[in-house]
Amino acid sequence: MRAEDGEAVRHAKRAAKAIGLKPSTLSSNGGLDPNWFVKYGLPTVTIGAGQYEIHTVNEYVDQPEFANGCRLAVAIATLEG
């Protein structure tokens, strides 16, 4: 099974659509916490929260995107099914 076909991803996509967002997926082999969760058998996803130029002196957060990330986190946690 492809990672984007997993139940955690399908649930996150449903939650995004439920709040009017257009979900998209990409794969990351970076040091994201969810990569470790998945490695040890806990399916999960990472959601974008408006971060740009991460880990540089120019790092910033786009506030409207951050707000959407927060809305999405709540929708993921509360959406049934």
pTM assigned to the model: 0.82
pLDDT confidence bin for 15, thresholds 50/70/90? very high
Judged against a pLDDT cut of 80, whether residue 25 lies above it is answered with: yes
Q: Identify the three-state secondary structure at position 61.
A: strand
pLDDT digits (tens, 9 = 90+) for 32-60: 888 888 889 998 888 888 999 988 999 99
Residues 58-78: what's their mean pLDDT? 96
Using a pLDDT cut of 70, give the percent of the chain over it: 95
Structural domains in the chain, sorted by start: 3-78 (1.10.150.900)
- Compute the distance between CA of residue 55 and CA of residue 74 in angstroms, rounded to an integer: 26
What does the alpha-carbon distance between residue 57 and residue 25 come to, in Å, rounded to a whole number?
Answer: 27
